[in-house]
């Protein structure tokens, strides 16, 4: 299929100019010329996303057709979209693109060639073309790239807003996946993360059918690629920060597959949160955020000096840096490793009752994987006055088209076969709940991760935690004992017990709801 026949197939016509696979420098020139972005003093490119500064799950749909009707886990997360409404909306988008310039990046997902998904990402803006080039994998050979035909096409039109009444959307923004046409439509939102997570959702639908376990996790390995580790976690728990370690090779920071050969990255880049990032605390990400080629999303920049202020949260707490993974000095060239020897499940417990580290048996590992617990903190969202428990099954429910039980079953099969050590790591509060206690220091979390990955912690003596029955190490070098045992760090033991019972009840309630689903 050539370009003309492809455009004929999707009925795209009368585009003013098509920019194919522009280089980073060319995309910089186009974004600045079109006033989409500002060049920072360090060389990174800064842009703001307008109304939407994060994902809008209520605006995401899957076309309900013969293929998806029986397979998709329909509900509030996976909302059905009528094929006829999809056809009408797609026609309106293609009309909107007439007499406009179009930027196309041909890239792919999955570093493992056995599972490669070729992508054509069509956008009206060069900044999103650069985002796609940074986040996904790019064929280095230009001749091969020219002939890269798509397994999926993504059409991205942030300037086109839907009419909810006639287009059957929830708002002017929409993310619609069509598995029959192998197409994704995204419009009405300038938040670039929707592109990344839409492709992740596609992979979470397709790969389990091939026996590949898709995971919302970061991954790295030690001196030997067979010494790999994965870090499950929701946003804000430290997934990217803790997996980037100068003594280990980074496989990837967010999305991976686990097949019969081991773990492999879905992507070719990182999408790191950078609010209040510092050179001292997270040097690798900090340096990558300042590099030429990096996109900074919703970060504040001085319009005269072009200096970046990573501490300014006036637009959003969800500031991001999108950069190729090779911007991290110790990134793996293969973006793959062996079967994990350690699995770390991250949470940010604002109740202050979970231990900073605990060893899980296989039953607890599956239980906690299904729960996917973390907490939202007072002040981060309107209306939240105290810590609020969040349960995202399999650590990624907004991106899972199939039932959580499908992914949990695959997880169970993997850990039963390969027998990794599974750990819970709490990067949240100790000595009291949010507002009373204090956040566990990043260096403490890093020390615990090092103890896990070196094998030191597995040799420790463990005691049973009375409320959740996790196994807590009695000691770990350089870590105060009272931090390892939350009940010892609270001044008021009765308040600790009250909060522990409260969280224990929430665990049981949410697990029961999942069991009945």
Give the residue numbers annotated as catalytic, written as ranges: 55, 197, 216, 235, 239-240, 254, 320
Residue corresponding to tokens 């200096």: 307
Residue corresponding to tokens 């099969």: 413
* Phi, psi angle pair for 59, to nearest 5°: -100, 10
The CB density around residue 326, as the number of other CB atoms within 10 Å, is: 13
The beta strand positions in 179-319, using DSSP E, are 183-187, 213-221, 228-232, 249-252, 255-259, 262-265, 269-273, 295-297, 300-301, 308-309
Half-sphere CA count of 1, side-chain side, radius 13 A = 11
Question: How far apart (Å, rounded) are the C-alpha atoms in residues 470 and 282?
Answer: 30
- Could you tell me which of 262, 7, 263, 271 has the C-alpha nearest to residue 136? 271
Tell me whether residue 33 is exposed, middle or buried, using C-beta atoms within 10 angstroms of its C-beta: 0 to 12, 13 to 18, 19 or more.
exposed
Residue 152 · residue 62 · CB < 8 Å = no
Residue 89 · residue 176 · CB < 8 Å = yes
What tokens does 360 get? 């899980």
Strand bridging mode 340-347 / 117-123:
unpaired
Question: How far apart (Å, rounded) are the C-alpha atoms in residues 84 and 191?
Answer: 27
Q: Is residue 176 within a helix (H) or strand (E), and if so which, with residue range?
A: strand 174-178
The CB density around residue 57, as the number of other CB atoms within 10 Å, is: 15
Residue corresponding to tokens 């081991």: 262
* Dihedral sign from CA coordinates of 25, 29, 34, 35: positive
- Could you tell me which of 233, 228, 238, 229 has the C-alpha nearest to residue 272? 238
Question: How far apart (Å, rounded) are the C-alpha atoms in residues 187 and 190?
Answer: 8
Question: How far apart (Å, rounded) are the C-alpha atoms in residues 400 and 219?
Answer: 20
Separation in Å, CA 179 to CA 208, 230, 408: 15, 29, 23
- Could you tell me which of 249, 211, 246, 209 has the C-alpha nearest to residue 229? 249
Please give the radius of gyration of the chain, using alpha carbons only, rounded to the nearest integer: 23
Show contacts of 29-37: CB within 8 Å, 24+ apart: 30/103, 30/126, 31/125, 31/126, 31/127, 31/130, 34/125, 34/126, 36/125, 36/126, 36/127, 37/127, 37/295
DSSP state of 397: G
Residue 232 · residue 215 · CB < 8 Å = yes
């Amino acid at each position: 299929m050539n370009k003309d026949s492809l455009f004929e197939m999707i009925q795209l016509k009368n585009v003013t100019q098509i920019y194919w696979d522009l280089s980073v420098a060319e995309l910089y020139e186009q974004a600045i010329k079109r006033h989409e972005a500002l060049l920072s003093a360090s060389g990174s490119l800064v842009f703001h996303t307008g109304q939407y500064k994060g994902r809008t799950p209520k605006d995401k749909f899957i076309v309900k057709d013969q293929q998806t009707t029986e397979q998709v886990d329909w509900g509030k997360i996976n909302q059905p979209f009528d094929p006829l409404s999809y056809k009408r909306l797609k026609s309106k988008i293609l009309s909107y693109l007439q007499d406009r310039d179009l930027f196309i990046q041909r890239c792919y997902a999955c570093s493992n060639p056995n599972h490669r998904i070729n992508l054509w990402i069509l956008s009206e803006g060069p900044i999103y073309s650069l985002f796609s080039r940074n986040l996904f994998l790019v064929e280095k050979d230009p001749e091969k790239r020219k002939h890269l035909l798509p397994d999926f096409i993504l059409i991205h039109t942030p300037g086109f807003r839907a009419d909810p009444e006639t287009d059957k959307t929830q708002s002017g923004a929409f993310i619609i996946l069509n598995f029959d046409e192998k197409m994704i439509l995204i419009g009405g939102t300038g938040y670039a993360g929707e592109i990344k997570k839409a492709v992740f959702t596609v992979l979470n639908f397709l790969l389990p059918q091939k026996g590949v376990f898709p995971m919302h996790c970061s991954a790295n390995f030690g001196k030997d690629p067979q010494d790999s580790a994965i870090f499950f976690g929701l946003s804000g728990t430290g997934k990217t920060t803790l997996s980037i370690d100068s003594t280990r090779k980074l496989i990837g920071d967010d999305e991976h597959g686990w097949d019969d050969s081991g773990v492999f990255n879905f992507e070719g880049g990182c999408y790191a949160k950078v609010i209040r990032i510092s050179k001292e605390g997270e040097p690798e990400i900090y340096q990558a955020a300042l590099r030429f080629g990096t996109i900074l999303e919703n970060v504040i920049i001085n319009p005269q000096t072009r200096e970046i202020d990573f501490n300014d949260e006036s637009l959003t707490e969800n500031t991001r840096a999108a950069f190729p993974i090779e911007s991290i000095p110790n990134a793996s060239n293969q973006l793959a490793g062996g079967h994990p020897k350690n699995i770390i499940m991250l949470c940010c417990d604002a109740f202050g009752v979970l231990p900073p580290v605990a060893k899980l048996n296989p039953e607890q590992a599956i239980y906690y994987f299904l729960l996917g617990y973390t907490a939202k903190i007072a002040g981060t969202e309107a209306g939240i006055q105290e810590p609020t428990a969040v349960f995202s099954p399999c650590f990624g429910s907004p991106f899972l088209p199939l039932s959580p039980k499908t992914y949990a079953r695959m997880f169970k099969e993997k850990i039963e076969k390969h027998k990794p050590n599974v750990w819970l790591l709490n990067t949240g509060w100790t000595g009291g709940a949010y507002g009373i206690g204090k956040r566990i220091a990043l260096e403490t979390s890093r020390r615990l991760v090092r103890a896990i990955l070196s094998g030191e912690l597995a040799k420790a003596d463990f005691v049973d935690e009375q409320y959740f029955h996790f196994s807590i190490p009695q000691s770990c070098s350089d870590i105060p004992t009272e931090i390892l045992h939350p009940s010892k760090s609270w001044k008021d033991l009765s308040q600790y017990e009250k909060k522990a019972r409260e969280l224990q009840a929430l665990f049981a309630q949410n697990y029961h709801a999942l069991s009945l689903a």
